Structure 1
Amino acid sequence: MTVLLAADAYSLGPGRIGALIAGALGLAGVITGGLALARAWRRGAVIAVAAGAVGMVVGGLIVVTADGGAGTGNGLGGGVVALVIGLLAVVLGGVALNRSARPAGR
């Protein structure tokens, strides 16, 4: 019989640290994508897509390798949040790239 115990609220295991890094990358991508969208900044759009994609990959790895459910200290909840934030960064960066690729007259 396997018993899953809730993790200490203040302990940072490898799963939580990975989810935290993935979320931070996704958040940086969202901020950069928003700035790129507001200022027609092509390089920022590329950075947003890259940061969002890396955040999604790391968050996905955390979700796939998490043992147990949410609250066990494996970073499952943070991994899911990182996936969503990374997806938002990729979408914002993609929209900014699409807008920057259009001719100026249109």
Structure 2
Amino acid sequence: MLKLVVLLTLGIYVPTVMCMSEEMEELARQLHNDCVAQTGVDEAHITTVKDQKGFPDDEKFKCYLKCLMTEMAIVGDDGVVDIEAAVGVMPDEYKAKAEPVIRKCGVKPGANP
């Protein structure tokens, strides 16, 4: 489930950055920069996932993803996924496969919220 959430988060974040106004691009960059600063994640881990070359088992990377999802109001401070928010910002090309999984598994708490 975590890998799906990661791919969806980056799948939402990256294409959105590519198709938005300059103002929105700046907000997205700021979100990324803030979450990198808060977590200390190695940007190489982010690139690895964006390039679909693997999924780093790195705690800081996972915290970065949680930061993105929290700031995007997809995950609450308690670590619970807001399913409607996640589905609402999901790009159409991911919905057919991802929405059923999010609806089924999105409410299950993680080991480390």
* TM-score, normalising length: structure 2: 0.27
Larger radius of gyration: 1
* TM-score, normalising length: structure 1: 0.28
